[in-house]
């Protein structure tokens, strides 16, 4: 772009009406031609800022940036690797704790634990009387060997529910 074209297109540049390549040429001329820059700044002082030189980062700075980004990526990958299995194990442990706690609560809430063949309540018993006088659950114990003991609880009031505990004899209190 020559100085004449620059001055002709100045208003269009300020109004953002130039094509992309004309805008690029205008900027280059604004940065490189002192006399046109003076004319431009006289027309619009903000063009002083548009004439600011495009600084470039040094190769050393870019290289340092690449190194830091690589380190950040590795740290991110490591954190993801560490956090994934931990969450899995924590979820499994939480499930075991909850199920064991629920089982123990259910067991300890039973007033009487009988061994085998408790009689079933009458079918017409009311909900209130059922809560006041719950039938004892049926408990079966087996020792299949290998220092294991199997407890099987069957709730007489709910034929669909059976809870089985497999316990190592050496760990029993």
Partner 1 sequence: MSVVAKMQGGDAPGPRDDRALARDALGGDEYAFSQLVTKHSGGLHRAVSRIIGDETEAWDVVQMAFLKGWQRLSQYDPRWSFATWMYRIGTNLAIDVIRSRKSRERAHQAGTEHRLRLVTDTEPASVGADRGDVNRVLAKVLPVLSPQQRAAFVLRELEGFDTSEVADVIGCTPTTVRNHIFQARKVLRKEIEQHFPEYLPGGRRD
What residue ranges bind partner 1 (CB under 8 A)? 14, 16, 20, 23-24, 27, 34, 37-39, 41-42, 44-46, 48-57, 61-70, 72-73, 76
Shortest gap between Cβ of 78 and partner 1 (angstroms)?
13
Shortest gap between Cβ of 39 and partner 1 (angstroms)?
8
- Which CB sits closer to partner 1, 42 or 112? 42
Shortest gap between Cβ of 51 and partner 1 (angstroms)?
6
Query: What are the DSSP E strand ranges found in the chain?
Result: 114-115, 138-145, 148-154, 162-168
Shortest gap between Cβ of 171 and partner 1 (angstroms)?
46
- Which CB sits closer to partner 1, 33 or 139? 33
- Which CB sits closer to partner 1, 55 or 85? 55
- Which CB sits closer to partner 1, 62 or 95? 62
Count of helices and strands (H, E) across the chain:
6, 4
- Which CB sits closer to partner 1, 70 or 120? 70
Rg (CA), the chain: 41
Strands 162-168 and 138-145: unpaired
According to DSSP, the residues that pair with 163 across neighbouring strands are 153
Best CA proximity match to 110, nearest among 169, 153, 149 = 153
* Contact between 150 and 142 (Cβ < 8 Å): yes
Shortest gap between Cβ of 25 and partner 1 (angstroms)?
11
* Contact between 139 and 116 (Cβ < 8 Å): yes
Q: Report which secondary-structure segment, H or E, holds 109.
A: none
């Amino acid at each position: 772009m020559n100085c004449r074209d620059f001055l002709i297109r100045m208003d269009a540049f300020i109004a953002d009406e130039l094509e992309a390549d004309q805008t690029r040429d205008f900027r280059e001329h604004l940065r490189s031609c002192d006399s046109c820059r003076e004319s431009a700044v006289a027309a619009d002082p903000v063009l002083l800022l548009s004439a600011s030189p495009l600084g470039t980062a040094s190769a050393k700075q870019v290289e340092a940036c690449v190194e830091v980004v690589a380190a950040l990526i590795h740290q991110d990958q490591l954190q993801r690797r560490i956090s994934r299995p931990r969450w899995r194990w924590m979820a499994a442990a939480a499930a075991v704790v909850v199920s064991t706690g629920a089982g123990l609560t259910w067991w300890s809430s039973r007033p009487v634990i009988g061994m085998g063949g408790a009689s079933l309540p009458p079918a017409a018993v009311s909900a209130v009387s059922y809560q006041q006088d719950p039938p004892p659950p049926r408990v079966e114990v087996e020792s299949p060997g290998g220092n294991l003991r199997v407890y099987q609880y069957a709730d007489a009031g709910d034929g669909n529910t059976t809870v089985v505990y497999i316990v190592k004899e050496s760990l029993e209190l």
